[in-house]
């Protein structure tokens, strides 16, 4: 038990289990990806001046804590994982009312979303519905190979930064719309990597995830192809924005990110037969680092 968990249990008792299952360790990653949309909408200069900051912060809190945290808690109530899961090592047994807690947290965020734009409310509503379909019987689409993939690439990939944009009320232009769309195949590349180290536990539970259906080798090839599609869309967005030879720094930022993704996935493909479960888990966290680098590159390329 870490000192953080110890302090949490001393403060909240067994109720701290509810908070742990919202996986606060993921909140900074989700917040950063949501803020990409805000910065694309107002620019780095606008963000420094605090343009539309109030609505952006409200949208950020609702999306990260209520929608994302509630979704993860709701999912944990049905998964009942025993081994490590993403952003939560040694998860405690799910409390008795975890599903209700997670759903109520998502519903609370939906009430708050009515105070923002129609685009934000629509994206929140769609993701709430997808969260229920993803986790809860009799739907449990996370156990349907391919359906789990589509839900996550849409929800986390594109709708999350779109929510950050939509909270500002700034109209979405076609070039930056392509940037947001590119995150859909980029998350399609990341998602199988989050499942590879959990193959045995998913097999025992009877969940036929995408990675379990494809196997490690084909999952990695799918990730490689999806990453290539994402950077092709980002390049197209650059052309649509009007980048030319003078924008060499912007092109270089995208090229570096593409190279990082390519090196990570090709190295994984060469070594996967020799890798143990914890090695695959470390590979997932490296991919999350590549994702964060891509977020930063997009902000620098289109936010200035």
The residues with which 88 forms a beta bridge, in sequence order, are 85
Q: Tell me: the pLDDT tens digits for 173-182?
A: 999 999 999 9
Query: In sequence order, which residues have a C-beta less than 8 Å from that of residue 60 and are 6 or more positions away?
Result: 31, 34, 35, 38, 164, 167
2 in any annotated domain = no
270 occurs within a structural domain? yes
The predicted pLDDT at position 2 comes to 74
- Among 172, 195, 217, identify where a domain stops: 172
Q: Tens digit of pLDDT per residue, the chain (304 long)?
A: 577 777 777 887 878 889 888 998 889 989 999 999 999 999 999 998 999 999 999 999 999 999 999 999 999 888 776 666 666 777 778 888 999 999 999 999 999 999 999 999 999 999 999 999 999 888 888 778 788 889 989 999 999 999 999 999 999 999 999 999 999 999 999 999 988 888 877 777 776 778 888 899 999 999 999 999 999 999 999 999 999 889 999 999 999 999 999 999 999 999 999 999 889 989 998 999 999 999 999 999 998 8
Residues 37, 161: contact at Cβ < 8 Å? Answer: yes
Residue 183, domain extent? 173-304
29-to-66, 122, 160, 275 alpha-carbon distances in Å: 15, 22, 11, 26
Count up the domains in the chain and report the number: 2
Pair (265, 296) in one structural domain = yes
Co-location of 209 and 297 in the same domain: yes
How many whole angstroms separate alpha carbon 238 and alpha carbon 175?
7
Over its C-alpha atoms, the chain yields an Rg (Å, rounded) of 19
pTM score of the predicted model: 0.89
Same domain, 126 and 236: no
CATH of the domain at 295: 1.20.120.1780
């Amino acid at each position: 038990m870490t000192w953080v968990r110890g302090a949490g249990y001393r403060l909240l008792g067994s109720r701290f289990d509810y908070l742990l299952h919202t996986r606060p360790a993921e909140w900074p990653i989700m917040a950063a990806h949501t803020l990409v949309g805000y910065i694309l909408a107002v620019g780095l200069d606008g963000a420094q001046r605090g343009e539309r900051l109030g609505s952006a912060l409200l949208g950020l809190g609702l999306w990260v804590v209520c929608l994302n945290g509630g979704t993860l808690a709701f999912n944990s109530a049905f998964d009942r994982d025993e081994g490590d899961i993403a952003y939560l090592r040694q998860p405690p047994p799910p409390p008795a009312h975890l599903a209700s807690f997670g759903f109520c947290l998502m519903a609370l965020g939906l009430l708050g979303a009515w105070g923002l734009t129609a685009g934000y409310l629509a994206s929140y509503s769609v993701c709430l519905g997808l969260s229920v379909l993803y986790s809860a019987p009799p739907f449990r689409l996370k156990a349907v190979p391919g359906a789990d993939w589509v839900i996550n690439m849409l929800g986390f990939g594109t709708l999350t930064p779109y929510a950050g944009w939509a909270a500002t009320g700034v109209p979405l232009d076609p070039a930056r719309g392509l940037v947001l769309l590119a995150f859909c195949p980029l998350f399609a590349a990341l998602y199988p990597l989050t499942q590879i180290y959990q193959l045995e536990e998913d097999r025992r539970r009877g969940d036929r995830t995408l990675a379990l259906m494809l196997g490690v080798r084909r999952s990695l090839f799918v990730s490689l192809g999806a990453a290539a599609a994402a950077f092709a869309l980002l390049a197209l967005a650059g052309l649509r924005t009007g980048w030319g030879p003078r924008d060499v720094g912007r092109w270089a930022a995208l090229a570096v990110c593409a190279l990082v993704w390519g090196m990570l996935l090709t190295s994984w493909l060469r070594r996967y037969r020799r890798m143990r479960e914890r090695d695959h888990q470390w590979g997932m966290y490296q991919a999350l680092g590549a994702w964060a680098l891509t977020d930063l590159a997009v902000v620098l390329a289109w936010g200035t």
